[in-house]
Amino acid sequence: MRARLSLSALCLVLLTIIAVRPATAQSLAALAAANTATSLMEKTGAGCWGCESFGGWQICHGGEVPGYYNCSSTVLNTCRLSSPGCGAGAALPLDPDGSAQYVSRGSLLGVQVALHDGDPPVRRNCEGVVVARKQTSDDILSVRIRTGSLTL
């Protein structure tokens, strides 16, 4: 009985989280949209989602960037394989600079792609892939210098 209650509680929590995520994403998205002039860098893959472990359950965790709020989920065993904005092609490079690609299908853990003030300059998913970051003016200058002329 106790186990059944615990399970029910967990389901309730999960359903609440699943229901709230898109709205959260949307409000954050609106916020982000209003601040596009800031120096924050939001990488592509925006709106992509991954699975996050919550109390031993994998739950769907969407991105926080405007564009797509298509985090789809099923009850309990939550994450589906793809969301149209990213999942279907996610194993392919979406961003040819190579630094912001969602590369696995359905196995990204803890994806959060938006950077906010105070965040560390690089955010990685649980696989170590850079999903968002800031570049200083020196970083930018360095990239331009290193890629200005190439001999292959």
Residues that bind another protein (CB under 8 A): 36, 41-47, 65-68, 84-86, 88-89, 91-101, 103-107, 124, 127-130, 135, 140, 142-144, 146-152
Smallest distance from another protein to CB 138, Å: 11
Smallest distance from another protein to CB 24, Å: 18
User: Which residue number, 76 or 126, has a Cβ lying nearer to another protein?
Assistant: 126
User: Which residue number, 8 or 142, has a Cβ lying nearer to another protein?
Assistant: 142
User: Which residue number, 3 or 151, has a Cβ lying nearer to another protein?
Assistant: 151
User: Which residue number, 14 or 100, has a Cβ lying nearer to another protein?
Assistant: 100
Residue labelled with tokens 């509680």 = 9
- Spatial distance between the Cα atoms of 51 and 58, rounded to a whole number of angstroms: 6
Q: What is the 3-state secondary structure (H, E, C) of 67-100?
A: CCCCCCECCCCCECCCCCCCHHHCCCCCCCCCCC
Smallest distance from another protein to CB 20, Å: 23
CB-based contact 115:40 (threshold 8 Å)? yes
